[in-house]
Structure 1
Amino acid sequence: MIAVLGLLSINCVQAEDNKATMQQIALHYFEVMVASQAPGATEKELENYLALLSDDVGHQHIPYETDDSRHPDGKQSMRKGMTFYLGAHTEYSAELLNLFTFNDTAVAIRYTHSAKGIHPQNNQPVSYTSTMMEVLEIEDGKVAMIRKYHE
């Protein structure tokens, strides 16, 4: 009986440690992601964000990007796309609303964000406000899949 109770308490402690670790990953991800979107963001902030991702990271933004494939150059593709928009915001703010953990494999962050800026391709003003949910699938301490949803 003592051995069983000991194992149960060890499992509970491990589960709480895993949850705390996943929450730390999610909070750090959110902080670094917001910094990469700020008006004064540079390649340094972009690289800080990319450092959190696996090399073969997948990115899905429903309904715009429905492909959830992971490719060996996933991080490089993210770098290319994000570099194109780097510094396009003249205003950006975000507020974390909720954080959900799913054992030691995934976390979800729900947040509101708003931005204003100039689109780098057509030089037209851009302005948006939305509520987002990002589900982050974690492998070996890195974000391996990002699934974005908006209200």
Structure 2
Amino acid sequence: MALLAAGPLWGEEIEINLHDFAQQYFAAMIATQAPAATEKELENYLALLTDDIGHTHLPYVTDDSRQPDGKEQMRKGMTYYLGAHTEYRAELLDVFTFNNSAVAIRYRNNVKGIHPQNSQPIVYAQTMMEVLEMENGKVAVIRKYHE
């Protein structure tokens, strides 16, 4: 009798091409920032994350603890800001891979919009780096830094 497995067995990691994954992640992430972004783009991005995703965006969010409802918390936060941009452009500058455990992307973005909480204009340009810690082919922890 043969046993077929559709996923990893007993701690076996899924191996993916991290450079290709970084390109896919970047495309999905920036799609969520577009002025016409919808829940579809948001769900495409969230599909790349573990359910218990941990997230930091220094200096604003410093706790990177993985929580059972981490993805749901991100969905809630990102839905609040969905469509807040009137203009969004981003350029992927660099991709750095670290064996099969992490990938970093460095990108520049230019943003204009209206803050949904206080209706004040948002205008900024910055260079960001996101370090993505991987687990079984998905992002388990996101660490965001900006210049």
- Shared fold (TM-score, shorter chain, > 0.5): yes
SS at match of 1:34: helix
2:16–2:100: 8 Å Cα contact kept in structure 1? Answer: no
| 2:126 equivalent in structure 1 | 130
Q: Distance in 1 between matches of 2:71 and 2:64?
A: 14
SS at match of 1:80: helix
Q: Distance in 1 between matches of 2:97 and 2:22?
A: 9
1:96 to 76, 79, 92: 92
Q: Distance in 2 between matches of 1:74 and 1:128?
A: 27
SS at match of 1:37: coil
Q: Distance in 1 between matches of 2:16 and 2:95?
A: 11
Q: Distance in 2 between matches of 1:51 and 1:29?
A: 10
Q: Distance in 2 between matches of 1:84 and 1:148?
A: 19
**Superposed displacement of residue 42, structure 1:** 0.3
Q: Which structure has greater helix proportion? A: 1
Q: 1:1-150 counterparts in 2 under 5 A?
A: 21-150=17-146
Identity among equivalent positions (%) equals 69
| 2:6 equivalent in structure 1 | none
Kindly name which structure, 1 or 2, has the bigger radius of gyration based on alpha carbons. 1
Note the residue ranges of structure 1 that are not aligned, 5 or more in a row: 1-17
Residue identity in the other structure for 2:124? Y
Deviations 1:51-70 (A, max 9, x none): 00000000001111111100
2:15–2:136: 8 Å Cα contact kept in structure 1? Answer: no
Residue identity in the other structure for 1:88? A
Residue identity in the other structure for 1:23? H
Q: Distance in 1 between matches of 2:18 and 2:35?
A: 28
How many residues are treated as equivalent by the alignment? 134
Residue identity in the other structure for 1:93? R
TM-score by length of structure 2 reads: 0.89
Note the residue ranges of structure 2 that are not aligned, 5 or more in a row: 1-13
RMSD between aligned residues: 1.3
SS at match of 2:50: strand
Q: Distance in 2 between matches of 1:20 and 1:99?
A: 15
